C-alpha cells in the first residue's frame, strides 16, 4: 500500500545536541516537543497518542523505560504512549509506528519523540559498562561498535582500494557542514591531517572517524495529509518509508557468508522507501540525505547500500565533492552523527527535523537550494536494523 | 473509530511459565511463536511485521533491546520488527501496536510476542538491583513494588474495611484456579491460614499476596477480520481496546491529591475498551477476565477500576464467590499473576492466549462455560500505564 503522501509532518523540534549538563532528560524532551507543538499550533491536549524512542534508559537517569516518561513532563494525560527501542533506528521506529497509527484511523494527531541522556556518566561508566555487565554477546568479548565497524573499513580497503584518507574526507566534509548547524555538538572544521593524526580508536578508525557521545532530543507532530493544511500550510509529506530487520546476512558473527561490504537491512529498507516514493535513480532524484555516519566508513558504504552509486564507487562520489553541500546529492549537511553526536533515541528524529527545515527552506547557511526530496537513513545493532524515510515538499 | 471486530487473532501460543532454566530467552520465544504459527497455519515467511515486548532486557541475558532478537531465532528476515516496552503493560502494548499496523493497511499478517527471562539470576541480583543501580526514583529510596502496592492495601483497609483475610481470599481463589492450568508457575492450592502465615514482604502483603518471579513467553498472530476465516475458522475477534498512560493522579509520589484507592489509567483504558465493544454493564456482559493481580490487593481495586462493582464493594464480589470459576464473572481462571508469575513482557499476551483458548472452548478443566466475551487488564509502573483489551467469539 505504501505511506506515500498519506502522512504529514506539521511540527518539528530539536534541542541543541551536545554535553547538555544543564538539561535533564525531561528538559530536553520538553524543549523538543514544545518546539514541534508551537510549529503545529497545537498544545499537549491535542495529542491523541505518542511514541517515545529511547534506546538506553539505564545510563544514569532511569528514564525512558515506558511511555510514562513522556506523559509526565508534557501533561499528556490518559492517552496511549508507547516506548520503542530498536538500537540506532529507535527514533525512526517511533516515527514509523506513529505513522501506522495515524493510518489506522484510530488517531488524528500524534507525536513521535526521541531522546537520550548519555553524558551524565563518563563513557567508560555508561553504555559499554552497561552492556558488558548485562551480558552483551559481542561487547563482553571486547568487540565494541568501533571494533565492529572497523572490520568493514578494512574490508573496503582490501576490496575497493579505499584508504584512511577517504575515511578522513567524510569527517572533514561533515565537520565543515556542522559549522553552519547551531544544533551540532562539534562545530569546528577539521583537516585531513588532523583526522589521520587523531588517536586511534580501532584501526583504521581514529577519534575523528567516530561520532561523539552526546545528549539530545528531537520530536515531530504528525497528522494525516488531509488534516495538514489546516494546522500548518508549510508542512512536509512522508513520501516513503522502509524499515527492515535482517539477521543472517547481517550478523557477520553468525553467518560466514557475510561480505562485510554493506548491510542487507539498509538495502531492503531503501528498496521499500524508493518503491513507496517512486524513486528510480536516487542520485538524481534525492536532493539531500542524512545518513547514519556513526563511523566515517558507514557513510561510504551507505552510499552503496542506498544505491547512490555502484558497489565500490562511494569513494569517487566523495572525492569529487558530489555529496558535499553544493554537490549533486549533499549528504549530512547537518554535520551528521560525526559532528552532531548520536543520542541514540533522538538521532533518527533529528534527521527528520533537519530534512523538514531543509524542505521548508528554513535551514539558513546550510540550506540545500531547491530541496524537494530528502532521505533519512539509520543502521543499528550489528547492522541488523535499518530505516529509510523519504520526505518531500507538500 | 474503535477496533471493534476489525482485527482477529488467528493463532496464539504460550510457554509454560516458571523457572524455565532449561529454556533460553530465545527458546521460549520460538516455542510460543511457533505454537501461534501452527494454529494460524502459517510459517515465519508469512509474517509481514512484528512487535516484540520485553521490559527488562538487562536481567542477565542481554536480549530484547531491539526487534533483532525476534528476527534471528524465527528467521523473520527483511521485515520491520519493533521492540516495545511499557512496564507491566508491555505485552499488551505489543498487541495494540500490531493492531494499529494491521488497520493502517500496510500489513496483512502480523505477530505480537512477549517474553522475559527473569530467573537466570537471583531476584536480589536482577530487577531490583538493576533499578537501584541505574537510578530508579523510588527503588533507590527503598520503595519496592510490594511497598508501593502495600500502601494501596492499607488505604483500602482504612477506607472500605478490607482485611488481610480478603486479600488472602484472592490468593486462595487464584491458586485454586491454577491447579487446572498446566502453564502456571505454581499449581498448588493454598489456604487462608497459609496466606496469612506466610512471611511478610511489606505489610499487609505477605509472600502469597505477591506474584513470583518467573520466566515465560507468549505470542499471537493477528490479521484483519476479513482475512481471518481463511486462516483459522476458530479465530477470536478483538472487540475493544483501551490503553492509557496517566500521570499526575497516578503518581502518588508527585501528586498529593491521589487517593490510593484506584488507578485512573485503568479506569480510562476500561472506558475506552467498553465504548469500543459496546459494553455498558461489565459484570453482566463480560464472561471472564484476566486482571493484573501482581499483588492480591490489585485484583480487588481492579474490580472497582473496571466497573465490576462500585467503589468499596470489591470484597463482596470476592467473598460471595462471584469472581471464582462458577461465579458470574470468573476472574483469573488461569491462576492470574499470583500463580502464573509475571514475566513482564509476556504477561499481557499470556492473558490474551488464555482468553483465546477460553473463547474457543479449549480451556479444559478451567473452561468458563459459554464464554463469549473476555477481558484482559494490565497495570504498570506506579499505576501510570494501563491496558484493557476485550476479546469475543467470532
Cβ distance of A58 and B130 shorter than 8 Å: yes
Cβ distance of A79 and B245 shorter than 8 Å: yes
Dihedral sign for Cα atoms in the order B196, B197, B198, B203: positive
pLDDT at B60: 63
DSSP string covering A36-83: HHHHHT--GGG--EEEEE-S-TTTTT---SSTHHHHHHHT-TTB-EEE
Cβ distance of B67 and A86 shorter than 8 Å: yes
pLDDT at A258: 80
Name the architecture of domain A124-212+237-393: 3-Layer(aba) Sandwich (3.40)
pLDDT at A182: 98
pTM listed for this prediction: 0.96
The neighbouring-strand residues paired with A110 are A49, A222
Query: Binning pLDDT at 50, 70 and 90, where does residue B126 land?
Result: low
Residues of chain A with C-beta less than 8 angstroms from the C-beta of B135 = 60-62
Query: Binning pLDDT at 50, 70 and 90, where does residue A55 land?
Result: very high
Domain chopping of chain B, boundaries: 7-123+214-236, 136-211+237-393
The per-residue pLDDT of chain B, averaged, comes to: 93
Query: Binning pLDDT at 50, 70 and 90, where does residue B250 land?
Result: very low
CB-based contact, A66 to chain B, within 8 Å: yes
CA distances from B307 to A3, A109, B301, B312 (A): 40, 29, 10, 11
Instruction: Give the phi and the psi of residue A147 in degrees, each rounded to 5.
Output: -65, -40
pLDDT at A123: 62
pLDDT at B125: 65
| Residue A314 CA from chain centroid, whole number | 20
CATH 3.40.47.10 correct for A7-122+214-236: yes
pLDDT at A124: 62
Cβ distance of A79 and B134 shorter than 8 Å: no
Decide: residue B242, CB within 10 A, 0-12 exposed, 13-18 middle, 19+ buried. buried
ipTM: 0.95
Residues of chain B with C-beta less than 8 angstroms from the C-beta of A246 = 71, 77-78
The mean pLDDT of A379-391, rounded to a whole number, is 92
pLDDT at A311: 96
CA distances from A166 to A148, B19, B83 (A): 19, 53, 36
Among residues B156, B185, B342, B353, the one annotated as catalytic is B342
Query: Binning pLDDT at 50, 70 and 90, where does residue B255 land?
Result: low
The mean pLDDT of A275-296, rounded to a whole number, is 98
pLDDT, tens digit, for every residue of A142-177?
A: 778 899 899 999 999 999 999 999 999 999 999 999
pLDDT at A252: 45
Closest chain A CA to residue B140: A62
Percent of chain B at pLDDT > 70 equals 93
Closest chain A CA to residue B57: A134
Residue B361 has pLDDT above 90, yes or no: yes
CB-based contact, B59 to chain A, within 8 Å: yes
CATH topology of domain B136-211+237-393: Peroxisomal Thiolase; Chain A, domain 1 (3.40.47)
Residue B244 has pLDDT above 50, yes or no: yes
Percent of chain B at pLDDT > 90 equals 82
pLDDT at B248: 47
DSSP structure class, residue A343:
-
Cβ distance of A68 and B87 shorter than 8 Å: yes
Query: Binning pLDDT at 50, 70 and 90, where does residue B159 land?
Result: very high
Tell me which residues of chain A, numbers 355 to 394, contact chain B at a CB-CB cutoff of 8 Å: 380-381, 384-385
CB pairs under 8 A between A and B: 186
Which of A146-150, A195-199, B170-174 has the weakest average pLDDT? A146-150
Closest by CA to A240, choosing from A186, A212, A294, A282, is A282
Residue B53 has pLDDT above 50, yes or no: yes
Sequence-ordered list of residues with C-beta below 8 angstroms from that of A331, at least 6 positions apart, any chain = A173, A288, A289, A290, A291, A299, A303, A323, A324
Residues of chain A with C-beta less than 8 angstroms from the C-beta of B59 = 134
**Class of the CATH domain delimited by B7-123+214-236:** alpha beta
pLDDT at B93: 98
pLDDT at A257: 72
Residue A381 has pLDDT above 90, yes or no: no
pLDDT at B246: 83
The mean pLDDT of A231-250, rounded to a whole number, is 87
Query: Binning pLDDT at 50, 70 and 90, where does residue A248 land?
Result: very low
CA distances from B173 to A74, A177, A212, B207 (A): 41, 66, 56, 15
pLDDT, tens digit, for every residue of A305-353?
A: 999 999 999 999 999 999 999 999 999 999 999 999 999 999 999 999 9
Do residues A277 and A392 lie in contact, with contact meaning Cβ atoms separated by under 8 Å?
yes
Closest chain B CA to residue A255: B72
Amino acid at each position: 500500500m505504501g505511506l506515500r503522501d498519506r502522512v504529514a509532518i506539521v511540527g518539528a523540534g530539536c534541542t541543541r545536541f551536545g554535553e547538555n549538563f544543564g538539561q535533564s532528560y525531561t528538559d530536553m524532551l520538553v524543549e523538543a516537543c514544545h518546539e514541534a507543538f508551537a510549529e503545529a499550533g497545537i498544545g499537549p491536549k491535542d495529542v491523541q497518542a505518542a511514541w517515545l524512542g529511547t534506546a538506553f534508559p539505564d545510563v544514569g537517569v532511569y528514564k525512558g523505560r515506558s511511555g510514562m516518561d513522556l506523559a509526565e513532563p508534557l501533561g499528556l494525560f490518559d492517552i496511549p504512549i508507547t516506548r520503542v527501542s530498536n538500537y540506532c533506528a529507535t527514533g525512526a521506529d517511533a516515527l514509523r509506528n506513529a505513522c501506522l497509527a495515524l493510518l489506522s484511523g484510530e488517531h488524528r494527531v500524534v507525536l513521535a519523540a526521541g531522546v537520550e541522556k548519555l553524558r551524565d556518566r563518563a563513557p567508560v561508566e555508561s553504555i559499554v559498562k552497561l552492556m558488558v555487565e548485562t551480558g552483551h554477546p559481542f561487547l563482553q568479548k571486547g568487540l565494541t561498535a568501533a571494533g565492529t565497524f572497523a572490520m568493514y573499513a578494512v574490508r573496503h580497503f582490501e576490496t575497493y582500494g579505499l584508504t584512511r584518507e577517504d575515511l578522513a574526507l567524510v569527517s572533514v566534509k561533515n565537520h565543515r557542514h556542522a559549522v553552519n548547524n547551531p544544533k551540532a555538538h562539534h562545530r569546528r572544521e577539521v583537516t585531513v591531517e588532523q583526522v589521520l593524526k587523531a588517536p586511534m580508536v580501532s584501526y583504521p578508525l581514529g577519534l575523528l572517524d567516530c561520532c561523539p557521545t552526546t545528549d539530545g532530543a528531537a520530536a515531530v507532530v504528525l497528522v494525516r495529509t488531509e488534516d495538514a493544511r489546516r494546522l500548518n500550510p508549510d508542512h512536509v509529506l512522508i513520501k516513503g518509508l522502509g524499515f527492515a530487520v535482517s539477521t543472517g546476512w547481517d550478523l557477520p558473527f553468525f553467518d560466514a557468508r557475510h561480505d562485510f561490504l554493506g548491510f542487507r537491512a539498509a538495502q531492503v529498507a531503501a528498496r521499500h522507501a524508493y518503491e513507496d516514493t517512486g524513486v528510480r535513480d536516487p542520485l538524481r532524484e534525492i536532493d539531500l540525505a542524512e545518513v547514519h555516519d556513526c563511523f566515517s566508513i558507514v557513510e561510504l558504504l551507505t552510499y552503496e547500500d542506498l544505491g547512490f552509486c555502484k558497489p565500490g564507487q562511494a569513494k569517487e562520489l566523495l572525492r569529487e565533492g558530489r555529496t558535499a553541500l553544493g554537490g549533486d546529492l549533499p549528504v549530512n549537511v547537518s554535520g551528521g552523527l560525526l559532528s552532531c553526536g548520536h543520542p541514540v533515541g533522538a538521532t533518527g528524529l533529528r534527521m527528520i527535523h533537519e530534512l523538514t527545515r531543509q524542505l521548508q527552506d528554513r535551514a539558513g547557511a546550510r540550506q540545500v537550494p531547491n530541496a524537494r526530496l530528502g532521505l533519512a537513513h539509520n543502521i543499528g545493532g550489528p547492522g541488523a536494523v535499518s530505516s529509510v524515510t523519504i520526505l518531500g515538499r507538500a
